[in-house]
Structure 1
């Protein structure tokens, strides 16, 4: 793994000629992702993020922490016991340099040892599940990381709107597999990562999977095509 996202976060933090990241998926064109966006403070966050951070309580695990903006807010403004977890070693080094006391570079499937009251999976958190056939593996793992009655706060987007409609209003979606399973590619400074699998989930599909894996689930907030869900360990 080239860790281009981590590389960009590192360059921005150290002011080493950072450039915007570029991302694309199997169904969308190149899109600019300003690295500065990953360093935003609470006031600059969207409705879904703000709501999730307000609902966080107890001991918190922030999965896919990136540059650590969510973790920093919970640690410094809310005085919560927070662990930032990300697969990117460089991103986690930046989290530590920004003052996050507990920051771990590891794949969530290999992470263990403690349990939490709140697990955060933000910025299209369902993406980490990769595909529908993997989702049970991830939800079982998350279940094992939670304390009794612990909660997962996770967001996603129903990307049905990205597909063409026919004259009757029916949506033309690919016949093979689930329409939210995409290849996601990151580009930075002329380099490209290998495509990773990324999963955008509509709420009902997430609800079915959550209920099959020992959770109750509610939709906390809907914002256009995106939503925040809370899963509670039964």
Structure 2
């Protein structure tokens, strides 16, 4: 598997002629993702990220940790015990070099730690890891199993219904799948990864699925079409 995100993070950290990442989806054109954005500090993060980090407590798991910026804030500024988890080997290596004390390269579905967590963090469209509506139960059950009693998940997402709006104010919504199920592709230095399934999820669908899987759900903060939610384990 190519690790273009990790390679870009590696190049930026070592000043090895880094370039911007480019991303695209099945309904959007190429978009630049500046690499320095993945190295931002707390004050440079959006309000949803900041709120989630402020609510994080206890033993924490940062899923999709990237270059480790969220983990470093929790570890160094809030003095929490944090595990950074990402499927990108190079990202995990750079996270360790940047000072993340516990960083692991693994797929969340294959991750089986000895101890459970008080907070699980899923940011930068955290709902994306669910892949599709049909796979949500698999991931939510796994996340439920990783939490201590009364543990919490802090997750952000975006309702992309607006992307289907037409000039007359109506919406041209797909009939064969949920409108937030997209193919997502990363490009870097003239290389491209295979498309992955990535889920942009509205809050109500997240709430319904989470409640079915043993969580109490709270909408913590909204910003435009995006939100951060708290899922508290109750079963």
Is the shorter-chain TM-score for this pair beyond 0.5, marking a shared fold?
yes
4+ aligned runs moved over 3 Å, structure 1 = none
- Counterpart in the other structure of 1:47: 47
Counterpart Cα distance in 2 of 1:216 and 1:134: 20
SS for the counterpart of 2:186 is: strand
**CA-CA distance at 1:165 after TM superposition:** 2.7
Give the unaligned 5+ runs of structure 2.
none
Counterpart Cα distance in 2 of 1:133 and 1:108: 17
- Counterpart in the other structure of 1:26: 26
User: Within 5 Å, which residues of 2 pair with 1:83-232?
Assistant: 83-113=83-113, 114-165=115-166, 167=168, 169-232=169-232
After superposition, the C-alpha distances for 1:96-134 in whole angstroms (9 at most, x for unaligned) are 000000000000000012210000000000000000111
Give yes or no for contact 1:166–1:172 (8 Å, CA) kept in 2.
no
**CA-CA distance at 1:171 after TM superposition:** 1.1
Counterpart Cα distance in 1 of 2:148 and 2:13: 34
Compute the RMSD of aligned alpha carbons: 0.7
Counterpart Cα distance in 1 of 2:92 and 2:125: 19
Counterpart Cα distance in 2 of 1:144 and 1:166: 45
After superposition, the C-alpha distances for 1:181-224 in whole angstroms (9 at most, x for unaligned) are 00000000000000000000000000010011000101000000
Give the unaligned 5+ runs of structure 1.
none
Using the size of structure 1 for normalisation, the TM-score is 0.98
- For these two proteins, the number of residue pairs brought into alignment is 233
Using the size of structure 2 for normalisation, the TM-score is 0.98
Counterpart Cα distance in 1 of 2:151 and 2:14: 37
- Counterpart in the other structure of 2:36: 36
Give yes or no for contact 1:59–1:118 (8 Å, CA) kept in 2.
yes
After superposition, the C-alpha distances for 1:55-81 in whole angstroms (9 at most, x for unaligned) are 000000000000000000000000000
- Counterpart in the other structure of 2:64: 64
Counterpart Cα distance in 1 of 2:153 and 2:170: 33
